[in-house]
Structure 1
Amino acid sequence: MRENVFITGANGWIGKKLLEKLLAKQFNITALIRKKNAESFMLEEKHNNLQFIEGDLEKVEEWKHGLNGVDTLIHLAAKVHTYSKSEKEATAFYAINFESTKKIFEKAEKYGVKKGIFISSVAVDDLTTEKEGKIEYAYASSKIKAERFLIDFKKSSNMSIQIIRPVTLYGGQDKGNFRRLYKLTRFNFFPIIGEGENLKSVIYYEDFAESLVNIMQEPISSTKEVLTIGAETISMNEIAQQFKKSNKRMIIVKLPVTPLRVILKIINIVNKTFSLKINRQLNTLIQSNTYEYEENLKYLPSKITFFRNINFKNEYIGNEPKK
């Protein structure tokens, strides 16, 4: 008997790839999307084991019936890839990433869902006590709040719950740091701040989707409560060299850190908002973001996609994410 799977965020960047991989394995799938379109109608027509339902994450009562008869819930949808700039925006992070997650899992348990998988973020690993709760860290704060709720909820629930923290994802229609970094190559210039030896833990988006399918099929009792999923760790120098393969005219320039910080302080006096934005981008180029994922490599596909093998021109050009 085929397992029944419910996915939120099925029309997103990772969700589409996850959907593709689950369909290939013949699972019965109910996929929550905000609004049906030509693509969703075509997929339903092609696959008799797929059903899309329309719904808003914040209005669970309107689509909760879709959880009836479900074996596994994969909660992928979230508000991501932005720093909150106001109290209103911070509130939206908590509403979607925490409050909606809470309601979805509570309803799932009532409908007898056996297993729940929540996609969190390694941003919570970098969240200090001083940062938690501040407006600009609302994304990470909302995710850690959801994690804490689920860990506590699991103690009194009949549902098995797994929390997944992916490292930096790249490829396809990503809207994150890698696409922003690659956009710099359009100017035939790529800056490295400092020596370029700072490290990043990364995973190709298709490999992450495959790992979710593999984790889903594992008994949760045999896994850790929180799994960090990554594939490799690379340096900023390696990132620059790989980008250069896609643009031979690109010049890699190493810039000293201290003068840039001084310039940033001057900009901060004139325009604090702009300074904050530049500072975050600067930190992306300077900081190391590494995480312990080695013990979870077993969940990745047998053939991993390595960063050094990606042609970023083919990967990103003409494959822009939807607004």
Structure 2
Amino acid sequence: MHIFVTGASGFVGRRVVQVLTARADIRVTVAARGERFTCPEAEQVVRFDDLATARFSAELSGVDTVVHCAARVHVMNDQEADPLEAFRRVNVEGTLNLARQAAKAGARRFIFLSSIKVNGESTTPGAPFTADEVGNPSDPYGVSKMEAEQGLRELASSSGMEVVIIRPVLVYGPGVKANFRSMMRWLHKGVPLPFGAIHNARSLVALDNLVDLIVTCVSHPAAANQTFMVSDGEDLSTTVLLRKMASALGKPARLLPVPSALLRAGANMLGKRSLSQRLCGSLQVDICATRSVLGWTPPLSVDEALNVTASDFMENEKK
């Protein structure tokens, strides 16, 4: 089997390539932006500057499946004059440019790494998002991912190429950046945090659980033209997550029981409304359909995945 992977230099794409190239029955071609990226384990590295205009006809010849991880990701404090247009250029035009070429080259399946932001930003506790709900994105990134999904479904209908859409929630694991890593650093240093009384519910997905689902979708016959939610299957409050994270780091969790309402009010005053939503609000997904359609179970528990993440964090903190 020959698989074409984009975004191979990214957090998810890099791990996808590692898992696929470890299998003797799979040949892997990777595509990455710019000249600096190298990938010795891949059969071929394809470089491009602009995904919306890139040409991959020769490299896609003989490819069975495309795993499309490349994207313009959610950007905090975006400086683009027109953020939606910037997201559309990569996430919609770039995705469909690649998908059309894949279909023309005879690829059997196209796996698209989308986002839970297609569904929205929050849920009511106990009422998780499902894959069959009408999208309700609230930011340019989510809009661009929804439009890419719509374009891919139309292409699947007209070309016969199977499309698989996966909507991850927050992904964590070895090498994780941004707020998740900041939280680990604060806990590791023993900094008291005002997050000891947050009673929300959030779905997360470990990197290796997400990659396991992606690899399952490469060949599973029932994955064709489906949309899948993915998580670890265990929803946590921010308070419980921080306690588990501290335990994985071998540190006490110094969490102060500040009421969520007070945290939200303070964050809003500082212009950090979106951050307070992520910390205090709920966002759950239902993976029952993913489990039943594919017979899939997340291979790692939350505790196992946090232990792996914490070990990597502490190893890198020593450097």
Q: Aligning the two structures, in what range does the TM-score lie when normalised by the shorter sequence?
A: 0.7 to 0.9
| 1:189 counterpart = 2:192 | yes
1:7 aligns with 2:5: yes
Q: How many residues align?
A: 298
CA offsets 1:1-39 (integer angstroms, 9 cap, x no match): xx1111101121111111111112221111001245585
Separation (CA, whole Å) in 2 of partners of 1:100 and 1:59 = 4
Secondary structure of the structure 1 residue equivalent to 2:262: helix
Aligned with 1:183: secondary structure?
Answer: helix
1:69 equivalent to 2:72? Answer no
Deviation at 1:86, TM superposition (A): 4.5
Distance 1:307 1:111 in 2: 40
Q: Deviations over 1:114-149 (max 9, x none)?
A: 1111110111111699975x7xx1110100010111
State the secondary structure of the residue aligned to 1:156.
helix
2:245 counterpart SS class: helix
Over 3 Å counting, the alpha-carbon distance change for 1:247 and 1:190 in structure 2 is: farther
Deviation at 1:305, TM superposition (A): 1.6
CA distance in 2, matches of 1:253, 1:315: 27
Q: Is the 8 A contact 2:61 2:105 kept in 1?
A: yes
Alignment CA distance shift 1:89-1:319 (3 Å)? farther
In the superposition, the TM-score normalised over structure 1's length comes to 0.82
Q: CA deviation at 1:224?
A: 5.8
Gaps in structure 1 of 5+ consecutive residues: 45-49, 268-274
Shift of the 151–192 alpha-carbon distance from structure 1 to 2, 3 Å rule, reads same
- Give the unaligned 5+ runs of structure 2: 123-133
Q: Secondary structure at the match of 1:82?
A: coil
Counterpart AA for 1:143: K
Given that residues 290 and 296 in structure 2 are in contact (C-alpha distance below 8 angstroms), is that contact kept between their aligned partners in structure 1? Answer: no
Q: Could you tell me which residue of structure 1 aligns to residue 220 of structure 2?
A: 218
Q: Which residue of 2 aligns with 1:271?
A: none
Instruction: Please say if 1:149 is aligned against 2:151.
Output: yes
Instruction: Tell me the residue number matched to 1:296.
Output: 290
Q: CA–CA distance in 1 between the matches of 2:237 and 2:267? A: 24
Partner of 1:79: 72
Alpha-carbon distance between aligned partners in 2 of 1:209 and 1:263, rounded to the nearest angstrom: 37
- Helix, strand or coil: the match of 1:199? coil
Given that 1:119 and 1:163 are in contact with CA atoms closer than 8 Å, whether structure 2 keeps it comes out as yes
Matched, 1:285 2:279: yes
Residue 202 of structure 2 contacts residue 236 of structure 2 at CA under 8 Å; is this kept in 1?
yes
Match in the other structure for 1:120: 114
Q: Is the 8 A contact 1:34 1:55 kept in 2?
A: yes
Q: Would the alpha carbon gap of residues 55 and 226 (structure 1) be closer, same or farther in structure 2, given more than 3 Å must change?
A: same
Letter in structure 2 aligned against 1:281? L
The worse-fitting range, judged by mean Cα deviation, of 256-265 and 226-235 is 256-265
Deviation at 1:81, TM superposition (A): 3.5
- Superposed CA offset, 1:33-71 (max 9, x none): 12455852x435xxxxx2111113425444332111111
149 and 255 in structure 1: CA distance in 2 versus 1, 3 angstrom threshold: same
Q: Aligned to 2:62, what secondary structure does the other structure show?
A: coil
Residue in structure 2 matched with residue 109 of structure 1 by the alignment: 103
Match of 1:307 in 2: 302
Give the counterpart of 1:169 among 158, 171, 192.
171
Secondary structure, aligned partner of 1:252: coil
Whether the 8 Å contact between 1:172 and 1:315 is mirrored in structure 2 is yes
Q: Report the AA paired with residue 311 of structure 2.
A: N
Q: Percent identity?
A: 23
As a proportion of its length, which structure holds more helix?
1
Return the offset for 1:72. Answer: 0.7
User: TM (normalized to structure 2)?
Assistant: 0.83
SS of the aligned residue for 1:79 comes to coil
Q: Is the 8 A contact 1:172 1:316 kept in 2?
A: yes
**Partner residue in 1 for 2:229:** 228
* CA RMSD between the two structures: 2.8
8 Å contact kept, 2:195–2:255 = yes
Deviation string 1:146-192 (CA, Å, 9 cap, x unpaired) is 01111122111121111111222111122354224323323522331
Is the alpha carbon distance of 1:98 and 1:59 closer, same or farther for their aligned partners in structure 2, counting shifts above 3 Å? closer
Pairing 1:253–2:256 present:
yes
- Give, in whole Å, the separation in 2 of the partners of 1:173 and 1:11: 12
180 and 57 in structure 1: CA distance in 2 versus 1, 3 angstrom threshold: farther
**Structure that is richer in strand per residue:** 1
- Pick from 15, 20, 23 the counterpart of residue 22 of structure 1: 20
Distance 2:289 2:14 in 1: 27
Cα distance in 1 for partners of 2:215, 2:147 equals 25
Q: What amino acid does structure 1 have at the position aligned with 2:85?
A: T
With over 3 angstroms needed to count, the CA separation of the structure-2 counterparts of 1:281 and 1:70, relative to structure 1, is: same
Distance in 2 (alpha carbons) for counterparts of 1:189 and 1:73: 45
Shift of residue 297, structure 1, vs aligned partner? 3.3
